[in-house]
């Protein structure tokens, strides 16, 4: 009865939240049972850690310890929310997941790759996404959109970083997609939202279809 696990990734202001909302509606309209969640957070324990991370309160601990906190939050979220939902056949749409840690902590936090791999293994614990949607956008435009959306609220710990850091993250997401083409699909998020949404829906329905085929084959065997 396994459902489908779909994650959304990308830099700041790429429009993930809007696209997730639209995809959730599209999938519900055709009868799917959809759960929308996010990281850091998504479970009560992980939401408590979210505040510590995004306020910058954990920054003085250094990048490795921040990575540990993201991993702790992810582990709780996976075991309390994502796995139970996927195991009962639901479709889970998650705003950011393991690729954000690979990029923000691993690449731009300059953390030892072996340490990051171990953390990922423990926190994800086999719950690899069936599909990862990467929204790709020039960081200048992304930060402009993020600033406009935020209004008078202060930038979070990650939005505040220099443009070259955001550019390295963009490149790092694209590299993940090149290395794992069976899991990741990149969408140019500079285009009209509705066009991007249609393409995302097609990719998501294809991934759900692949899952259902595998389920049917397993049932027939
Ligand atoms: P968002 O709600 O705007 O996506 O903000 C979450 C921030 O947290 C974003 O700047 C990326 C950052 N983040 C990490 O650095 N590592 C992670 O593993 C996750 C999930 C998010």
Residue 212: per-residue pLDDT = 85
**Residue 136 Cβ < 6 Å to ligand 1:** no
Q: Which helix (H) or strand (E) holds 107?
A: none
CA of 96 to the centre of ligand 1 (A): 7
Which residue, among 76, 75, 95, 79, has the nearest Cα to 35 in the 3D structure? 95
Q: Which residue has the tokens 């293994």?
A: 121
For the chain, the structural domain boundaries read 4-220
Torsion over CA: 203, 209, 212, 217 (sign): negative
Residue 27: per-residue pLDDT = 98
Ligand 1 atom closest to residue 104's alpha carbon, by position in its atom list: 15
Mean pLDDT, each 10-residue run in order, the chain (221 residues): 94 96 98 98 97 95 97 98 98 98 96 97 98 97 93 88 95 98 98 98 97 82 74
Residue 60: per-residue pLDDT = 95
Q: Is the distance from CB of 131 to CB of 211 less than 8 angstroms?
A: no
Tokens of 67: 């990575």
Residue 10: per-residue pLDDT = 97
Residue 30: per-residue pLDDT = 97
CA of 56 to the centre of ligand 1 (A): 12
**Residue 66 Cβ < 6 Å to ligand 1:** no
Residue 184: per-residue pLDDT = 98
42 CA to centre of own chain = 12
The CATH code of domain 4-220 reads 3.40.50.300
> Probe ligand 1: pick from 21, 40, 72, 173, max atoms within 8 Å of CB?
40
Residue 110: per-residue pLDDT = 92
Protein residue with its CA nearest to atom 13 in ligand 1: 100
CA of 131 to the centre of ligand 1 (A): 19
Q: 3-state class of 187 per DSSP?
A: strand
C-alpha to C-alpha distance for 136 and 172, rounded to whole angstroms:
11
């Amino acid at each position: 009865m396994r459902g489908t696990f779909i994650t959304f990734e990308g830099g700041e202001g790429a429009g993930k939240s809007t696209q997730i909302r639209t995809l959730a509606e599209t999938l519900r309209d055709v009868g799917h049972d959809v759960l929308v969640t996010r990281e850091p957070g998504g479970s009560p324990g992980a939401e408590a850690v979210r505040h510590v991370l995004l306020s910058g309160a954990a920054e003085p601990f250094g990048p490795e310890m921040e990575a540990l906190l993201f991993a702790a939050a992810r582990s709780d979220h996976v075991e309390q929310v994502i796995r139970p939902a996927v195991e009962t056949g639901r479709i889970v749409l998650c705003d950011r997941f393991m690729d954000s840690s690979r990029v923000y902590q691993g690449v731009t936090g300059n953390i030892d790759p072996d340490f990051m791999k171990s953390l990922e293994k423990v926190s994800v614990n086999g719950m690899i996404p069936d599909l990862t949607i990467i929204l790709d956008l020039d960081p200048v435009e992304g930060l402009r959109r993020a600033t406009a959306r935020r209004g008078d609220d202060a930038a979070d710990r990650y939005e505040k970083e220099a443009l070259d850091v955001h550019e390295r993250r963009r490149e790092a997401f694209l590299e993940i997609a090149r290395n794992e083409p069976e899991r990741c699909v990149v969408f140019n998020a500079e285009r009209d939202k509705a066009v991007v949404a249609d393409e995302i829906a097609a990719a998501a329905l294809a991934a759900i279809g692949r899952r259902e085929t595998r389920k049917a084959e397993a049932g027939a065997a």
